[in-house]
């Protein structure tokens, strides 16, 4: 099979927590490269350098996995922007760009996401979803992804279809669902039920991504940890959400006024430490998480050295506001790493 090469995701997870990457579409929207609204990933074709750069930022910040930007790169979603005939080309380009950024330093995950076509108890809809997933997977696997991430599924039923199709590739599979404003999926499942069902279906890593802040995600991860022995993964958003609006897309500020809600690097480092404490194996982030967050998470997890900040002190005249105002406390939540 594969020749001697970098460790696969399961080998890495066996050694300890793996650090994922951050969010792509919302950040690229801020950079003027993705359209808010459809949030389709044609940037891989129209502006490959912008995507390559963002991947490299995550890589250099310490991410151990880069996710190919094929979120919403399905035929039906691309049809909403008149690009349904470019499904293959787009999926191919996205994986190639991620691999180029990864070099030999990161694993590259193929990516499936919710299709908006799934209907509970509708066999024809399920078959359409299967076909949609297979169309993307065929291209991504041919391009040599290391494993598959299926993500942001509201319905457990659709997430299970992602497990089924991704497993058919024989690559390792991670599938994560999202919880909206209620702690239950639209098909009536709690976090523990979801984790069990996904693990029983054969997913190697199960968990939660997107929509919610770490604060509103970690309690559900704790329930998942108790429910399954398999690896669990967590990729929350880096936005502050409220109890009523736990799903950041339900905030009136979504999608283009979210800046005041963005979490600090310290808060995301704190999240990484807490996730490790409760036994999360794959620790990444989703929308709103940029390289700054991933770098502090990497430090909190001991993946990169602590930032031993030494600003000039003790001179007669301050050379920066740092000295002038005596900001000499070390960061509390991050920078431990050992």
Residue with Cβ nearer Zn ion (70 or 164): 70
- Residue 89 CB contacts under 8 Å (≥ 6 apart), including other chains: 45
Residue with Cβ nearer Zn ion (133 or 239): 239
- Residue 59 CB contacts under 8 Å (≥ 6 apart), including other chains: 66, 101, 102, 103, 105, 106
Shortest Å distance, C-beta 273 to Zn ion: 21
Closest CA to 204 of 235, 176, 237: 176
Q: Considering only 49-57, 153-161, 287-295, 330-338, which stretch makes contact with Zn ion by CB under 5 A?
A: 287-295
Shortest Å distance, C-beta 255 to Zn ion: 11
What is the four-CA torsion angle of 145, 150, 152, 155, rounded to 10 degrees? 170
Q: What is each CA distance from 74 to 132, 173, 249, 255, in whole angstroms?
A: 6, 19, 21, 21
Q: What is each CA distance from 300 to 156, 306, 337, in whole angstroms?
A: 32, 8, 5
Shortest Å distance, C-beta 20 to Zn ion: 12
**CA neighbours closer than 13 Å in the CB half-sphere of residue 50:** 17
Shortest Å distance, C-beta 41 to Zn ion: 13
Q: Considering only 70-78, 136-144, 188-196, 285-293, which stretch makes contact with Zn ion by CB under 5 A?
A: 285-293
Q: Considering only 80-88, 154-162, 192-200, 283-291, which stretch makes contact with Zn ion by CB under 5 A?
A: 283-291
Residue with Cβ nearer Zn ion (72 or 133): 72
Shortest Å distance, C-beta 307 to Zn ion: 27
Residue with Cβ nearer Zn ion (217 or 335): 217
Residue 294 φ/ψ region, left for φ over 0, alpha for ψ in the -120 to 50 degree band, beta for the rest: alpha
Please give the residues from 196 up to 225 whose contact with Zn ion meets the rule CB under 5 A: 210
- Residue 310 CB contacts under 8 Å (≥ 6 apart), including other chains: none
Evaluate the CA torsion angle 220, 223, 225, 228 in order and state its sign.
negative
Q: Considering only 10-18, 97-105, 284-292, 295-303, which stretch makes contact with Zn ion by CB under 5 A?
A: 284-292
Phi, psi of 328 (to 5 degrees): -105, 15
- Measured between alpha carbons, how far is 82 from 314 in angstroms, rounded to an integer? 62
Shortest Å distance, C-beta 77 to Zn ion: 15
Residue with Cβ nearer Zn ion (180 or 307): 180
Residue with Cβ nearer Zn ion (172 or 288): 288
238 binds Zn ion (CB under 5 A): no
Shortest Å distance, C-beta 142 to Zn ion: 26
- Residue 292 CB contacts under 8 Å (≥ 6 apart), including other chains: 61, 265
Closest CA to 95 of 60, 119, 71, 113: 71
Shortest Å distance, C-beta 23 to Zn ion: 5
Residue pair 179/159 in contact (Cβ under 8 Å)? The answer is no
Q: How many residues interact with Zn ion (rule CB under 5 A)?
A: 3
- Measured between alpha carbons, how far is 281 from 124 in angstroms, rounded to an integer? 36
Shortest Å distance, C-beta 210 to Zn ion: 3
Residue with Cβ nearer Zn ion (27 or 204): 27
Residue pair 41/71 in contact (Cβ under 8 Å)? The answer is yes
Residue 294: its H or E element: helix 291-300
Q: List the one residue from 287, 290, 291, 298 that touches Zn ion (CB under 5 A).
A: 287
Q: List the one residue from 98, 102, 286, 304 that touches Zn ion (CB under 5 A).
A: 286
Residue with Cβ nearer Zn ion (21 or 143): 21
Residue with Cβ nearer Zn ion (73 or 210): 210
Write the interaction track for Zn ion spanning residues 154-193; mark x where CB under 5 A is met and - where it is not: ----------------------------------------
Q: Which residues are near Zn ion by CB under 5 A?
A: 210, 286-287
């Amino acid at each position: 099979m594969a020749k001697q090469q970098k460790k696969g995701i399961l080998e890495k997870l066996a050694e300890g927590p793996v650090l994922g990457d951050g969010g792509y579409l919302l950040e690229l929207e801020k950079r003027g490269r993705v359209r808010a609204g459809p949030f389709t990933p044609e940037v891989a074709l129209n502006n490959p350098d912008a995507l390559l750069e963002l991947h490299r930022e995550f890589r250099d910040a310490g991410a151990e996995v880069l996710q190919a930007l094929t979120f919403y790169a399905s035929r039906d979603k691309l049809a909403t922007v008149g690009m349904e005939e470019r499904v293959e080309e787009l999926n191919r380009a996205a994986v190639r760009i991620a691999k180029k950024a990864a070099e030999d330093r990161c694993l590259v995950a193929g990516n499936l996401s919710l299709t908006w076509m799934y209907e509970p108890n509708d066999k024809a809809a399920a078959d359409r979803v299967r076909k949609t997933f297979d169309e993307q997977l065929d291209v991504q696997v041919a391009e040599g992804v290391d494993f598959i991430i299926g993500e942001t599924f509201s319905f457990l039923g659709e997430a299970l279809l992602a497990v089924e199709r991704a497993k058919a590739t024989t690559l390792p599979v991670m599938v994560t669902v999202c919880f909206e404003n209620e702690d239950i999926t639209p098909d009536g499942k709690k976090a523990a039920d979801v984790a069990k069902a996904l693990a029983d279906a054969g997913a190697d890593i199960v968990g939660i991504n997107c929509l919610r802040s770490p604060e509103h995600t970690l309690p559900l991860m704790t329930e998942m940890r108790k429910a399954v022995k398999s690896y669990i993964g967590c990729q929350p958003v880096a936005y502050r959400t409220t109890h009523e609006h736990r799903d950041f897309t339900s905030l009136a500020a979504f999608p283009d006024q979210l800046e005041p809600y963005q979490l600090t690097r310290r808060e995301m480092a704190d999240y990484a430490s807490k996730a490790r404490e409760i036994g999360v194996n794959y620790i990444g982030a989703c929308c709103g998480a940029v390289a700054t967050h991933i770098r502090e998470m990497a430090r909190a997890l001991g993946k990169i050295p602590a930032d031993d900040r030494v600003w000039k002190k003790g001179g007669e005249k301050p050379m920066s506001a740092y000295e002038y105002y005596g900001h000499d406390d070390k960061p509390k939540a991050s920078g431990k790493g050992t």
